[in-house]
Structure 1
Amino acid sequence: MIKEEKVPFETMVFSGITFKVINRHEAHNIIGDLIDFKNQKIYNVFEDTWRFPDYEENPIFLLAEDDVEMDLFEMDFSTEEHSHIFILGFIFKGNLMVSKLISSYDTDNSPALIVLGKTTTVNINLFGSVHYLGGGLQCDTLVGEYNHGELFVKGDLIAWLIYTDDMLLHFERFTDVQAIISAGRPDILICSNVQDTDGSIITVENYLPSTHKLSDIVDDAFLEFSSYGTEILGNNYLDVFKEGLSILDYDKKEKYSYADFRNQFINIIEVLSDNEELKENGKIVRHISGITYLFVPFDYEGKKYSQISEEISNGFNIRMRALWCHDDEEIMIILEYLDENGDPKYQWMNDENAQGIEFFCVKNAVMKTFEILTTPEVEDENDDEDEREYADYDNSFSLEEFAVQFGHYKLPEDLVKLYEFEQEYGVETYSECFGLTITNDKTGIKTWSEEEEFYNSFIEFAGANGSGSSYAYWLIDEDLNNCPIVVFGDEGGVHIVAENTKKLIQLLTLDTEISVDFDKAYFYQDEEYYEESENKEEFKDWVENQFNLEAIESNEDADEIVEEAQRKYKQKFNDFLVKFGIEISEEDE
């Protein structure tokens, strides 16, 4: 039984509004049954995590029972007058109308925003917690930042621009949305009513790729570029948000409405049709980190067609394509969600004049694919074979490319740090035979079981040894920080090896590849044959400085970490394997 906390006072003024002060139990009675689009509860105010910690003094929620209007709403954990309290979240039972900006406190951690009525504002910038807008949202621009945040919007969404930089945004429906843009991977999800195989109408939540580039709709003064060349918001756009002004450039209407798409597409077909690579190979194709960009001409039912397409795999299974019929001079644009065999599960199809955000996705894919397919080849002076700039076997992949295989899961910060270290020092240079990888499909895991529930329960992310074993997260929690790491042996055996990313990193300091057999996985450094990796000492120092962890010095130390993880997860994991008919060691039964 959780002891009910006392509130320090009955009411409190924040941003000029008098709120009722309530505790966790009262908040639970209001928001405890709120569900996402998969009928899972969103909030557990008793969970004692960074979102709703119990180690802060005087934790409270602020409740507004009636409609609220204010000029500017910037959330914070306390006020100057009441610096000794800790605000876990703001709950609005009615409508919330803010004339300029709604903003979270910090990208790492912020009070939660929960609005049961309609939310109306010019700009809304959220991060740092799980936020919920239950009665729809009307705004000019919505921005979501960083992977410590998540947003659910139920009801109608009316907005010019939805922009996310590594934050999951879930929407029930787009009533009137002009543009959606994910700075990295697809982080925007929308519910759609589609027809099932038996003819019934079902609601599914799908990732929706970007419909534009930022420069298509945002004033150029607010554009910056990441180190990977990606357009991102910058240049003090928050200052403009706080004034209640727009960062959008409405004079770019022809660009963001794709007003000239027909002529642009015809020109793209003409340029690609004259490409020498097409004449030699019958198609132009690039494979980049789980995405296939393709131009191909073909004949169908006596008519000549040309198709340009972008297909996103790695668990997304989205294909966007546009076709030009040379005989009829007609354009068809298609957004498809594919099953595991690559066949369409459901699709949106229409001509180039069709309205709807789904078709803007395809038009954006056409422009992006054309840019990639016309990128000049780059000759590697150190290799006799030609390599293209976008080669998917290049170890110097970007963080965005590495993140694609994680789907909607957020990269743990510890893994991001390891990625940055490896980019600086090189793969397999700091721990024997270890290196982060991009896995374009789940072919290896499918050799264990072809059941979708099984292979979608893992995300491979690294090579484990020199013979082909791999490390993967076992997806038992939405937060990968709470997911143990398993090793898939190349010749049999799959085992829990670490409680989390940090423990795996500590294991890597032994500088010995893992051995995997049917019965167990273990680390064994043979002193007679051991050769120290080039950057082992740099890695040891880095681990100590970054994580305050001592390097592993013996096989016994490594065994202790593996055994600790197995004590916690082994039985649960064995039960999971048996469920799919996978044989386990007799000593594990």
Structure 2
Amino acid sequence: MSNDFQFLPISQVAGKFPENTWWSKFYKDFNDENLVAYYEGDLTLPFLNLDWDMPFPQQEGVIIVFINGSLTVDNLYNQETDGAIALIVTGNLSAKNIAVGGQEVYVAGDLSVEEILCGSYNHGEMIVEGNLNAKVLVQDGEYRFKADGEQSIVCAVNVWDTDAVCQELPVDIRKVLIEDVFLDSEEEEIDFSFHTLVTVLEEGRSALLDWSEALQRKKAEHLYFTSNTINEENILKLTRSILMTDEQPYFDFEEHDAYFKVQREHIGDDGEQRNPSVYIKTAQHHYFIWLDDDHSVSLLMKSGDSEWEDIDEESSKPLAEYWLMLLTCVNAAELYLPNIEVKVVQDILQHPVIQELDPYGEENDGFWDGSKYYGFRRQAYTDEDGYCFAARIDIETPDGAFYFYTLDNNSYVSRHYQPPNHHVRQDMSFLDAKRWEASERYFDRFKDFIARKISVDGSSVRKS
């Protein structure tokens, strides 16, 4: 520990307290027996223990550590969260690990944490005027973090939940943190020990596991499309994919800057035969591909309001890119959509326990599972304006996002996503594999919870 600290009565440092700190307002509540360990300039330390019962350094009465500069420290921590030494850093704070509680930690610049940033209990707060960057944020739902700049957290752990959110994917927290920091329990809940975490840091050990394997997304064993040729086989496979429901003779969606519409063979409203076809609209062109009666494939294109014309070798190049995008999207649909079955969702929504909830999902409509919330619109209805609302299950994730699982057709369960702090649900991009993977992981956890909650047998809530 550096010997260059000055130990000053709190009144002598009062003029240096940053305006946004608690101390700038309440320092007068303390007398001059309460000392500030003051350091002028940038400082590097191997560790910093902020516990009251650890004199800093060899000095009784210190209630604040004040670094008038930047601080770099391997491990910053304290065991007692019912009150601890405060920390003020007027520059940047860089650490390998931070595990604190019971005091105000104020950083005027940026906070960067290489591994774990942990705040515990409700007697503490961390204020960062700049950016906050940490690999893993561990919190118990009571400790407060405030950052005025951008926040970058790779993995967020709420100790009251069994799941962390790592790169937007739910991951069992026991695959993120070492076994030592969890208490033995016969209950299904996972008991996290803040004090053990601090002990691990005091011993110079890392409390992190390599969770890269837990982030691995599923890979298709068999691709629906095995070639990207524009031919009869692929056109027919498009019309027979899971996206083609019985309710209408086509499916359509938007992906990036393109609109796609696939139409199966059917009789139109005018009584005329419609052959299988694909329509693609991009920012520059319209493309129309259809299957002739003789099984040959015809292709046309146009720009804006111009006339349709045949596609030559040069104009076929951008079409090939969008055709590949279409096949890739349908491959993704075939990979993910069958995994959540319509029958499973129907059985859950029809269970007596769910039927007791508000039918329209407006109040008394769900259950908490740690920091996840499950809501139900258990039956479809039409409002007074004639707008139809389909039955669905909603999952609110620990980071405030929503996933929606909707029964709006008989072929598959439609899925939508709503980002944190947004109020409108969005279509899920077929090219966003992480989003689809997350939607399945959250639904698997939901099924496990609901099976315990309502004791549904295996035929009602079965593994998809």
Q: Is the 8 A contact 2:341 2:413 kept in 1?
A: no
- DSSP-derived class of the 1:176 partner: strand
Aligned twin of 2:340: 269
Cα offset, 1:74, TM superposition = 0.9
Task: Say which SS state the counterpart of residue 249 (structure 1) adopts.
Answer: coil
Look up the match of 1:287. Answer: 366
The gaps in structure 1 that reach 5 residues or longer are: 1-14, 36-40, 186-208, 339-343, 380-589
**1:229–1:30 distance in 2 versus 1, CA, 3 Å:** farther
Give the alignment's TM-score, normalised by structure 2: 0.54
> Which residue is 1:116 aligned to?
90
Asked if 1:309 is matched to 2:431, the reply is no
Label 1:29 to 1:126 Cα distance change in 2 as closer, same or farther (>3 A). Answer: same
Partner of residue 332, structure 1? 416
Question: Which of 199, 212, 228 is 1:239 aligned to?
Answer: 199
- Pair 1:330–1:311, CA change in 2 (3 A): closer
Matched letter for residue 246 of structure 1:
S
Higher normalized contact order (CA 8 Å, seq sep 6+, divided by chain length): 2
The two structures, once aligned, show a CA RMSD in angstroms of 4.9
C-alpha separation between the residues in 2 aligned to 1:266 and 1:371?
19
Name the residue aligned to 1:18.
4
Q: Distance between the aligned counterparts of 1:355 and 1:78, measured in 2?
A: 51
1:169 and 1:236 map into 2 onto residues whose CA distance is: 22
Amino acid at match of 1:239: T
Q: TM-score, normalised by structure 1?
A: 0.44
Deviation per CA, 1:291-311: give whole Å up to 9, x if none: 543376979999998854235
Residue from 159, 182, 204 that aligns with 1:183: 159
Q: 1:366: how far off? A: 4.4
**How many residues end up aligned between the 2 structures?**
320
Q: Deviations over 1:212-264 (max 9, x none)?
A: 542242234433367874324339333331244322211x2142476679899
Check the 8 A contact 2:403/2:415 in 1, yes or no.
no
In the alignment, does 2:458 pair up with 1:374?
Answer: no
Give the whole-Å Cα distance in 1 for the aligned partners of 2:62 and 2:335: 52
Q: What's the counterpart of residue 128 of structure 2?
A: 153
1:376 & 1:134 partners in 2: Cα distance?
A: 47
Q: Residue deviations 1:319-363, cap 9 Å, x none?
A: 62245787899853213548xxxxx3x78886486699x999978
CA distance in structure 1 between the partners assigned to 2:185 and 2:431 by the alignment: 33
Q: Is the 8 A contact 1:157 1:176 kept in 2?
A: yes
**What letter matches 1:16 in structure 2?**
S
Larger Rg: 2
Deviations 1:524-577 (A, max 9, x none): xxxxxxxxxxxxxxxxxxxxxxxxxxxxxxxxxxxxxxxxxxxxxxxxxxxxxx
CA distance in 1, matches of 2:43, 2:36: 16
2:419 alignment partner AA: L
Q: Which residue of 1 aligns with 2:110?
A: 136
Amino acid at match of 1:178: V
Q: Which residue of 1 aligns with 2:312?
A: none
Q: Which residue of 2 aligns with 1:321?
A: 403
Alpha-carbon distance, 1:105 to partner:
5.3
Q: Shift of the alpha carbon at 1:369?
A: 3.0
AA aligned opposite 1:30:
K
- Partner secondary structure for residue 375 of structure 1: helix
Asked if structure 1 preserves the Cα contact closer than 8 Å seen for 2:394 and 2:404, the reply is yes
Q: 1:163: Cα distance to partner?
A: 0.6
The AA in structure 2 aligned to 1:25 is: S
Match of 1:215 in 2: 174
1:146/1:167 contact within 8 Å kept: yes
Any gaps of 5 or more consecutive residues in structure 2? 162-167, 221-331, 358-364, 457-464
- What's the CA shift for 1:59? 0.8
SS state of the match for residue 102, structure 1?
strand
Q: Kindly tell me: are residues 310 and 329 of structure 1, through their superposed partners in 2, closer, same or farther at Cα, counting changes over 3 Å?
A: closer
Residue 271 (structure 1) shift: 7.6
Rounded to whole Å, the distance in 2 between the matches of 1:367 and 1:159 is 28
Amino acid at match of 1:373: I
Assess if the C-alpha contact under 8 Å between 1:124 and 1:142 holds in 2: yes
Matched letter for residue 370 of structure 1: K
Compute the displacement of 1:288 (Å). 3.3
CA contact (8 A) 2:378 2:391 kept: yes
Deviation digits for residues 269-293 of structure 1, max 9, x if unmatched? 2286365343568978763369543
Does structure 1 retain, via aligned residues, the 8 Å contact 2:367–2:374? yes
Separation in structure 1 between the aligned mates of residue 136 and residue 341 of structure 2, nearest angstrom: 32
> 1:450-482 deviations in whole A, cap 9, x for unaligned?
xxxxxxxxxxxxxxxxxxxxxxxxxxxxxxxxx
- For the residues of structure 1 that align with 2:202 and 2:433, how far apart are their CA atoms? 32
Contact 2:171–2:214 (CA under 8 A) maintained in structure 1 = no
What amino acid sits opposite 1:114 in the alignment? I
- Counterparts in 2 of 1:73 and 1:353: CA distance versus 1, 3 Å: farther
1:264 and 1:26 map into 2 onto residues whose CA distance is 67
The answer (yes or no) to whether the contact 1:211–1:363 under 8 Å persists in 2 is no
Q: 1:75 aligns with which of 50, 53, 78?
A: 50
Whether 2:73 is the aligned partner of 1:92: answer no
> Is the CA contact 1:308–1:369 (under 8 Å) kept in the aligned structure 2?
no
Q: CA deviation at 1:16?
A: 2.8
CA contact (8 A) 1:66 1:94 kept: yes
Q: Is 2:40 aligned against 1:65? A: yes
Letter in structure 2 aligned against 1:110: A
1:249 is matched with 209
Q: Are the structure 2 counterparts of residues 378 and 245 from structure 1 closer, same or farther at C-alpha, using a change threshold of 3 Å?
A: same
Say yes or no: does 1:28 pair with 2:112.
no
Q: CA offsets, 1:124-165, max 9 Å, x none? A: 111111211222222200111112212122322222211112
Distance 1:44 1:320, change over 3 A: same
Contact 2:405–2:413 (CA<8 Å) still a contact in 1?
no
| Inter-CA distance 80–164: structure 2 relative to 1 (3 Å threshold) | closer
- Separation in 1, partners of 2:147, 2:7: 30
Q: In structure 2, the residue corresponding to 1:273 is in which secondary structure?
A: helix
Deviation string for 1:72-123 (max 9, x for gaps)?
A: 1112447669877311111112211112x10135211111011122211211
1:217–1:256 Cα contact (<8 Å) kept:
no
Partners of 1:217 and 1:248 within 8 A in 2: yes
Distance 1:129 1:272 in 2: 52
2:20 aligned counterpart, secondary structure: coil
1:46 correspondence with 2:27? yes
